[in-house]
Amino acid sequence: MDKINRLASENGVVIFSKSTCCLCYAVNVLFRELQVMPVVHEIDQDPEGKEMEKAIMRMGINGPVPAVFINGKLIGSTNEVMSLHLSGSLIPMLKPYQALSAS
């Protein structure tokens, strides 16, 4: 879907979420812990929300939220983010988008 891809490529780290989704909140917390500020799109607040939901599910994300994109590419949902982080592969992907730390 165009809107999804457009929104995904507008920013480095993008999370498609729903305002009621606490798991999405958890994923957001993790990114912030890693010094990244993801852009969160709440599809239940979007007029085209239903379309977006279908599109995300067609991409293979059953949630359909959270759906995480890094650098315009679909990374996956909570499972994928957690696996990547534990294997040490997430931080390298986030490097270009990490805010400069105060220390």
The footprint of another protein (CB under 8 A) covers 20-23, 25-27, 29-30, 33-34, 78-79, 82-83, 85-88
Q: How far is the CB of 89 from another protein (least distance, A)?
A: 10
Q: How far is the CB of 55 from another protein (least distance, A)?
A: 21
Of 53 and 72, nearer to another protein (C-beta) is 53
Would strands 39-42 and 13-17 be described as parallel, antiparallel, or unpaired? parallel
The Cα–Cα gap between 9 and 103 comes to 30
Of 23 and 39, nearer to another protein (C-beta) is 23
Torsion of CA 37, 84, 22, 45, to 10 degrees: 60
Computed on alpha carbons and rounded to an integer, the radius of gyration of the chain in Å comes to 13
Of 22 and 102, nearer to another protein (C-beta) is 22
- Identify residue 88 by its one-letter amino acid code: G
